[in-house]
Amino acid sequence: MSVQRKTMVVKIGSSTLVGEDRQIRRDFIADLARQAAELRNLGWNLVVVSSGAIACGAPKLGFAKKPADMPSLQACASVGQCILSAVYDEEFRAASLLTSLVLLTRHDTACRSSYLHARDALTRLVELGVVPVVNENDTTTVDEIKFGDNDTLAALVSCLVSADLCVTLSDIDGLYTANPSLDPTAQFIPRVTKIDAAIIGSAGDSTTSVGTGGMITKIRASRILMTAGIASVICSGAEENALVRLASGESVGTLFVPPADRLEIAPRKLWIALGDSAHGSVTVDDGAAAAVVQRGSSLLPVGITAVEGSFSTGDVLDIRDRDGFVIARGRAEAGSDELELARGRRQDEIAGNHLLAALSGKPAIHRDQMIVFA
């Protein structure tokens, strides 16, 4: 009887892939390939989410530093992606492993059918023994359709392939109570079982010149993974043999543990959480927050205290508590103008207002179209 294989997603940041000399670290990718081969022998498949295209392309095009304008960034990504893919191919082939290139944008995943096609393609590649190398398609993306950081992309890919573990290799060895480069009293946090406002507040911004993310994006991605029931780790890219050690059950970096009592999340709700970026947000009172989080209720207009952004029916919204903490995400049953008029009103008031007739008898966000974060 065949043994069920596990799947690990590893996200590698630009600052880990590209050295101070602005050249791609071939030795790092060679060691990654060695670990991938060892993981395969341990019963694990590997999917790589790789940053670095812009950082690799910029010096080849003569830029002294990362350019600021979009066309130049896209040109750097186009050149750098070729360089990056070639090195992955060469080093993984030397370890008898085949890689593939998968480029995604929000445009690909915001549409439910495209999201499912991406899931099927990635799943089949893994089944065929390929190591997919996934990146955002920075050559064609603009701000409106960008993931914004590869931490979010790694969380998305982990959900698409139903990963058992998502590992972020970074320039820091894990999560601290404060930014250790600024606060010498910062304490290392080896294990996180719940991401609350205090954990979010401990995150600092990116301090590197080649990356686009920071600890805050990693924590937000880990929170989504915890919601999906997927464990995740943040550790240093310089940590020796980190992936193999993690696969063997060793503690490396900071482990984010999903709640033991977390029910299985419907794939459609994971798509709501990750497929598209939020088009706006609603702030709710304490009663509505409790109803959504503790009782799994739909969000009614009466519980909304503020509406932010311009959005339409069906757009994805963040649901925030009165402190601004995002507690859930869902698809709006009405546009921003209607919800602004309806917020704070009871259902009988809405029913008696001809301007709000479309919301009569309906919630602002239905629980079947909502995912509550762990």
Tens digits of per-residue pLDDT, 147-172?
557 888 999 999 999 999 999 998 88
Low-confidence ranges of the chain (pLDDT < 50): 1, 144-146, 205-213
Condensed to tens digits (0 to 9), the pLDDT of residues 92-128 reads 999 999 999 999 887 778 888 888 999 999 999 999 9
Find all residues with CB under 8 Å of 319, minimum gap 6, and list them.
Answer: 281, 282, 284, 292, 299, 326, 327, 328, 329, 330, 365, 370
Condensed to tens digits (0 to 9), the pLDDT of residues 221-240 reads 899 899 989 999 999 999 99
If you compute the radius of gyration of the chain from its CA atoms, what whole number of angstroms results? 22
Domain with CATH 2.30.130.10 in the chain: 278-372
Assigned token pair, 291: 């109803």
**Per-residue pLDDT at 191:** 94
Please give the single-letter amino acid code of residue 135.
N
How many other CB atoms are there within 10 angstroms of residue 26's CB atom? 13
Name the binding residues for substrate.
51, 138, 150
pTM (2 decimals)?
A: 0.86
Q: What angle do CA 75, 79, 80 make, to 5 degrees?
A: 110
The number of angstroms, rounded, from the C-alpha of 30 to the middle of its chain's C-alpha atoms is 26
**What is the domain class of 278-372 according to CATH?**
mainly beta
Assigned token pair, 182: 């600024």
Name the binding residues.
11, 51, 138, 150, 170-171, 212-218
* Residue in this structure with the two tokens 């503790």, named with its chain if needed: 294
Domain with CATH 3.40.1160.10 in the chain: 6-256
Strand order in the sheet with 99-104: 99-104, 131-136, 44-50, 6-12, 165-170, 231-236, 254-256, 191-192
Name the binding residues for ATP.
11, 170-171, 212-218
Domain 6-256 has CATH 3.40.1160.10: yes
